Structure 1
Amino acid sequence: MSSIKLTKFNIFTILLIPFVWIYELSVVAPILGKIAEAFPNASTFELQLVVVMPFFTSIPFSIISGKLAKKYDKKNLIVLGLLIYGLAGITPFFCHTLPQILVFRLITGIGVGMVLPLPNSIIAELFTGIQREKMLGATTSVANIANVLDSIAVGFILTLGWKYPFLCFIVCIIIMFVAMAGLPKCPPVSQSFDDSNLQTSGKGVPKIVYGLLLFMAANWMFFSFNINNTALFMTTEHIGVPWMIGIAISLPGGISIISGIIFSNFYNKTKHFLVPIAITIFALGYVVMFFTHSFATQCIANCLIGFGSGLIPPYILNLTSQKVELSKRDSAYGIVTAGIHIGFLSSPFIQLFISTVTGIETFRTLYGMCAIGLIICTVISFIAVMRIKKDSIIETA
């Protein structure tokens, strides 16, 4: 743990950065219908690109950012990333063609990727034990708070026209100035200050990092299956009225805020059993969603999905800090946090693949397949935890 003495403002600033983790998605996704009206000749694929384009650059730049943190101060990288994020995010307001918008959305992803892994890396460097668990849980809560607030705010701003929500990216510039004032300096970690209780893993990051990357991507992929399809599902199934759609979409993210807040206490009571418990709750949400025919039960399903999925990211981030030596955590977090956007990006393509192979395109069937997949993951994770527990008992004996 670092000897830097942190003020409340330092801690507030560290936790403020995750506010923009999925900001590029939550601001733009709700305005897609209006963009379609503004560009009637655009194909569905081109319109979808407006939403997912930043992920094509954010994923590699998340990894690059982790590597750059081994040479440069993380504070400076965050400030630069937020500057790119904000300027590129605002620019579509001044664009007149769809290709121009797509180019600046691609550049926006560079800023997103640079910012994505670094708060976790700073937390892992400056905090230990329960404090680290609470801080990592709080980052997930902050990201979901932003998601909920964005969805509400954009709905009102959209009444002015499809361009105006892009001005919301000025928030990234504001956070950049806060970061300049409040983030502590975080220079590269030298090997001499590494954790002595961790085994070294050669020149590269440990193989477990790539397993955690897949775990993170899978969690967000299953999560986005619900978020991306809620509006169409409610419309085709005649569930509720239009104003209820916004509530339904915001519930998983809203409940995930609670997951992040209670993560530390929940983890200390359940340890690695947190994973099968969380996935079970996640799966139960999709089971309820499969059978739902009312807005009330759909809200219950969305709450279960949000609570179960919300417990998993802070667990993955905390496990990364436990399994990776300090000098390699910057690179490790760059890889692991890339899984957030990989999950979002892969979701529509996986859904397309499923419908192409099976010939079934109903949302209810998709939810049923998600439930089956998550139940299988629950069984696998439970067996894995029992094996880990058995091995630890043998080592102790």
Structure 2
Amino acid sequence: MSTSPYNNFVKAGVLAIFAIQFEMSLTTPALGAIASAFPDVNPTLVQMIASLPYLITIFSAPFSAYIVRVKSLRFALNIGMITLFIGGILPGLFGDFYFILACRVLFGFGYGFMFNLGPSVVNSLFHGRERDNMLGYQSAVGSVAGIIYGMIGGFLAGLFWRYAFLGFIIMIPLMVLVMAAVPNPQQSEKKEETVSKDGVTGKTWLYAVLIALAYALIFSWISNTAMVVVLEKIGTSAQAGLVMSIFTIGCTIGGLTFGKLSDMLKRYHSPFCLILCGIGIFIAYFASSMIVFYISGFIFGIAFVSFACRLYVIGAESAPNNQSLGISYMVSASCVGQFVSPLMLAALTPILGFSGLRASWLISWPMLILVGIVMTLLVVMRNRTAEAV
């Protein structure tokens, strides 16, 4: 286990980066009010207020790594915070619906920067068990912040939809904390590998593809659960919301335990998380009561966040000469996976002869468990080979 020379003030500044990331939750509760304020706008376009930033993140996350390389991590952080703040708060001041979408592009640009640079800061400042602990804490902070922001955004949107965007004022003290507390990490000496001129290895590309596929399977639980609960009349919209709240509690616990779990399982951590995600979806697939959905959400939340933390470590270790870029590839890959998930699974279900609201889960849970088992066997074989040598 290794420790860093950084005090709690620095750690608070680092965790503030992740609190800033989740300010997107401020505006999600306002979508209904925005749709009512612009009745002539297609509802699908209104939904893009929530989805557009994720699409922009696919491109802005790798660009943030380029800025880190040619300037500095602190400089890139400042760009990310400023663009996220401006793109977030402007619709609360003026503008029509299409101005909101334009601002969401700017917001997504900053969001991609922050999504990538938060883990990059952790990997640059901390090492070993302390790094894993900080990555876990960031997920826990993000989960709690997301709940708080959602409540604040819902309250403000109930008064007037523009007020939800004005909620980004909360970001100002967090920005000040980040600027005051987070040092500019120094580039460390990295071992030589077969890398491209930007520092990316073949492993980076391979892991990015695998993570995109994993997220396409994993995301089926997040995108389908509420619809299954409500449309199959198992529960109400409020009860579906409670499932997501319990999922968030699971995410918080997954973040807080990531360091210990990663240290205990080591190379078995990723396959364990995939198997646990598969079990969570398996439980949901056969669920016929709300209590079973609550159990599914809790288990899935722990596994989902633990796997999400691991992908930052994978990205950093796959590109030792440019950790920020390696992490950005994993971030972009996860966003691609979430974006293509409904399209990919909708195309596969009729081919495989599946139908119904739960059809995508019938693909996801067996694949996740199977891949997790295969990965576990590969780790066992690798360990035995190493012992034989």
**Fold match, TM over 0.5?**
yes
CA distance in 1, matches of 2:12, 2:237: 37
CA drift at 1:133: 1.6
Matched letter for residue 339 of structure 1: A
Secondary structure of the 2:183 match is coil
Q: Does 1:389 find its partner at 2:388?
A: no
Which segment is superposed worse, 152-161 or 307-316? Answer: 152-161
Q: Deviations over 1:136-188 (max 9, x none)?
A: 2222222222223233333333321333222232333332221111111235x
CA drift at 1:319: 3.1
Residue in 1 aligned with 2:319? 324
Show the 5 A alignment for 1:180-199: 180-187=179-186, 189=187, 193-196=188-191, 199=193
Matched letter for residue 87 of structure 2: A
- For structure 2, list consecutive stretches of 5 or more residues without a partner in the other structure: none
Show the 5 A alignment for 1:78-89: 78-89=77-88
CA distance in 2, matches of 1:367, 1:153: 33
RMSD: 2.6
Matched letter for residue 332 of structure 1: G
Which segment is superposed worse, 232-241 or 77-86? Answer: 232-241
Residues 255 and 284 of structure 1, relative CA distance in 2, 3 Å threshold: same
Q: Deviations over 1:200-252 (max 9, x none)?
A: 53523111112332344345444432333333222112223333232211222
Matched letter for residue 71 of structure 1: V
Show the 5 A alignment for 1:181-220: 181-187=180-186, 189=187, 193-196=188-191, 199=193, 201-203=195-197, 204-220=199-215
Residue in 2 aligned with 1:21? 21
Matched letter for residue 233 of structure 2: H
Show the 5 A alignment for 1:41-80: 41-80=40-79
Residue in 2 aligned with 1:281? 276
CA distance in 1, matches of 2:372, 2:178: 40
Show the 5 A alignment for 1:226-375: 226-325=221-320, 327-354=321-348, 362-375=356-369
Matched letter for residue 312 of structure 2: L
Residues 73 and 16 of structure 1, relative CA distance in 2, 3 Å threshold: same
CA distance in 2, matches of 1:38, 1:232: 25
Residues 80 and 108 of structure 1, relative CA distance in 2, 3 Å threshold: same
Give TM-score scaled by structure 2 length.
Answer: 0.90
Matched letter for residue 310 of structure 2: Y
CA drift at 1:274: 1.7
Give TM-score scaled by structure 1 length.
Answer: 0.88
Residues 224 and 155 of structure 1, relative CA distance in 2, 3 Å threshold: farther
Do the aligned residues in 2 keep the contact of 1:216 with 1:337 (CA within 8 Å)? no
Do the aligned residues in 1 keep the contact of 2:315 with 2:328 (CA within 8 Å)? no
CA distance in 2, matches of 1:3, 1:90: 38
Percent identical residues: 22
- For structure 1, list consecutive stretches of 5 or more residues without a partner in the other structure: none
Q: Deviations over 1:52-93 (max 9, x none)?
A: 111232221110111211122212221221111011111222
Matched letter for residue 342 of structure 1: V
Residues 316 and 377 of structure 1, relative CA distance in 2, 3 Å threshold: same
CA drift at 1:115: 1.6
